A and B are shown apart, each in its own frame.
Chain A
């Protein structure tokens, strides 16, 4: 098991180096002058020239790449061209906000998705099955942007149940320690504020979690149907075990392996979907940070941002792989 983990970690190094090269070359191939976009239409030519020089943008890109790689090895992610704040410092709160959001969205997707999938398989061809799969189909094809605005319209404007934007009530701010507001509220024992934080999380995580929820529901259903036909389930049934026990204890464990793959992949795509969700819900996360950086051609931020997201993606896949091995001892790294 240990050597498996080590091997999986070693593979990460060339993957990450390759990633820096790809990200770097793509970003520098995009047309658009950072100096112009950062300083704005109203800046003088002179200061744009000075900025380009200072940023090393006048140097050949290969040289720029090695300079970047060198800094990276020293743990220096560089400075944002626009705000001139070190990225490592600047990105932390955004990262915390996005992690909190994606985690909640995944939790929502998992709880609803897995259960809906199980019930659909269990009650195959029932009204519940049809309804759930129809909803899943709608869920997959739903534009996040539209869903988010509709949620706001219904739950905030019409029903006044939930706040429509942000992470916290600005009139009643929360002292931040970890940057994960749920955790911050718990640490400080502020239960009232915890409830407000959770309410702020609900709409964006439903918007963000809907697609993975639908995918997970469909995957669980087909995987369960497959397993339910297998011999060991038939044996379990014939022994007279209660249906609930058969489904949740015996079948689910094996049905979850393919679901786990989907969860891994979907968590990765959540990081991408976060850009839209964060825009609609004014969620100060890494998605918006990146989006802004791209529109301003803030190269260091785009590079580091994508690199961090890619790293997270690789990390999640690593965790999924390790979980496979934990669930099913037959899986080994070759």
Chain B
């Protein structure tokens, strides 16, 4: 008898945890997990199933945390996504597009010479701390960004976007910003800048409360204060950022939600699991592998963000034989873009032809892509003096990280490697860790070919072509060391031209030149996929990757 009791007791001891885990979980969620109606008195079950009444809290899941919430000192998308909710810029992009609309500035006048912009500001707008938004606030912000000795430029801060959009100190585009009266601001420029309004609408130029910056100083980046639809509430690093409704928002009837919580969930599959389990309402970056599951799940919806990026393979033109355009063109014929899209992008991409996506104005649709034709590639290599393929072996850098424009760089590289081998070009794939990867490709000593991509910051072709392929971007984003003086002239001219039609023509010319020179093999323009609960409405994906959550609501 005693033996039996002992056995029983130890079994109980041993299994306690497991039993409590399973049994307990079961009994608790029986009331709320499977049928949402019984959930009202059980806060715990709200996570498994939302209550029947319309939900007013949105939980967003994304891959990484923000770095800082002062949009002017960061360049990373994860920071700007939050900044976008808390701050308004003078202008903004119309939902779902990169078309400029009035925001804090109601209207504006441009002088004939393109050097003076007079903005009339919206009246009655208040910052979240209760202070007034006015012309002085605008002047304060622009002074802070442009004056290298500003006392509100805190240690370690740099206003990178200001410098790259409006020129670094010494060659500033904006000469002066002055307050004419309480709600009129005048911008004087040193030289005309075609994408000026386009730039002003960027999230990073959101107007911050001067009072809050003066009071919080360095800490402002952790406790931002703007005029946006949501008020910053709490930031638990690497976990979540909580925003609450701005009851005094100047846009009538917005925001529709009471609260937004943005969580960091690094693993794409785990994030998708959380969405399926109802722990989050909206997620970014769905793995191509999870698409079929998503499409089959009727309680979820698929959201497509318009393509606004490009993934490419760059040639290191410093090195032989890639300094020869003939070789580069030959290799362009050896890449099966549609095959890559079907195999690795779940069809959510289109073959890239130019260094900028077709959704952007100025895109040259006259250019015919190099088709997938191995015989032609071989022929062209022979014409370039390599009848037996290229001599030696080359190092092909493939991205070690997943990006919206390239979910799995290594697999794509392997497929391309196989095709290259067929025309007698042997490449070895290397995929060092990301920081090293960026370093090495920038130095250009170790790699012969490299894979990379870009997502646009604003709706201007300059942000793709000049940023990635001009000689000014060496060292930096022009990691192929591609130099074309004629192209440079055109791009500089386009920066100063204010007539958009003329600019458009210039960029079309630029794309034709690049096509002939083939410093890249453009691979794809991807359509990033988001997923949300089926009852989430009013979410308009924006090409730039930054959306307002203010018009989102639940049915």
Contacts and interface: CB of A to CB of B under 8 A. Distances in A.
A172 B44 contact: yes
A163 B47 contact: yes
Interface stretch (A64-72, A147-155, A305-313, A323-331): A147-155
Contacts, number: 228
A170 B438 contact: no
Interface in A75-93: 82-85, 90, 93
B442 interface: yes
A243 interface: yes
Interface in A176-226: 192-193, 195-196, 199, 202, 206
Contact of B33 (A40, A46, A160, A171): A160
B28 A195 contact: yes
Given A195-B44, A282-B265, A36 B435 contact: yes
A192 B44 CA distance: 7
B518 to A, nearest CB: 23
Contacts of B267: 279-280, 282
B163 interface: yes
B46 A41 contact: no
B158 interface: yes
Contacts of B439: 31-33, 36
B538 interface: no
A250 B476 CA distance: 70
A284 to B, nearest CB: 4
B276 A45 contact: no
A52 to B, nearest CB: 11
Contacts of A112: 14, 17-18
Interface stretch (A134-142, A257-265, A287-295): A287-295
A270 B46 CA distance: 32
A250 B228 CA distance: 69
Contacts of B34: 160
Given A37-B438, A90-B237, A172-B43, A160 B48 contact: yes
A44 B164 contact: yes
B68 interface: yes
Given A40-B75, A44-B168, A163-B277, A152 B238 contact: no
Q: Which of A36, A40, A153, A245 has the most CB of B within 10 A?
A: A40
Given A33-B439, A51-B156, A202-B25, A166 B263 contact: yes
Contact of A161 (B7, B26, B67, B266): B26
A157 B434 contact: no
A94 B158 contact: no
Contact of B273 (A153, A242, A292): A153
B59 interface: yes
A199 B25 contact: yes
A32 B436 contact: yes
Given A94-B238, A284-B238, A242 B6 contact: yes
B98 interface: no
B274 A37 contact: no
A39 B438 CA distance: 12
Contacts of A149: 269-270, 273
Given A45-B476, A93-B236, A32 B433 contact: yes
B544 interface: no
A282 B14 contact: no
Contact of A170 (B17, B22, B218, B240): B240
A157 B277 contact: yes
Contacts of B442: 36
B43 A44 contact: no
A293 to B, nearest CB: 11
Contact of B434 (A37, A90, A164, A245): A37
A24 interface: no
Contacts of A192: 42-44
A153 to B, nearest CB: 7
A243 B68 contact: no
Contacts of B263: 165-166, 170, 282
Contacts of B218: 84
Contacts of A152: 270, 273-274, 277
B156 A171 contact: no
B240 to A, nearest CB: 6
A131 interface: no
B2 interface: yes
A317 interface: no
Contacts of B276: 156-157
A47 B457 contact: no
Interface in B207-245: 218, 221-222, 236-240, 242
B57 interface: yes
Interface in B23-42: 24-26, 28-29, 33-34, 42
25 contacts: A32-B433, A33-B435, A37-B438, A44-B168, A46-B168, A47-B158, A83-B67, A84-B221, A112-B17, A119-B11, A148-B270, A149-B273, A152-B270, A159-B25, A160-B277, A161-B29, A162-B21, A171-B43, A195-B24, A199-B44, A280-B270, A282-B264, A282-B266, A282-B274, A292-B65
The 5 lowest CB-CB distance pairs between A and B, nearest first, are: A244-B6, A32-B435, A115-B14, A161-B25, A47-B158
Given A31-B435, A152-B270, 18 more contacts: A31-B432, A31-B436, A32-B433, A36-B442, A37-B435, A51-B156, A111-B13, A111-B16, A160-B33, A163-B47, A164-B274, A169-B46, A242-B2, A279-B267, A282-B264, A284-B239, A288-B238, A292-B64
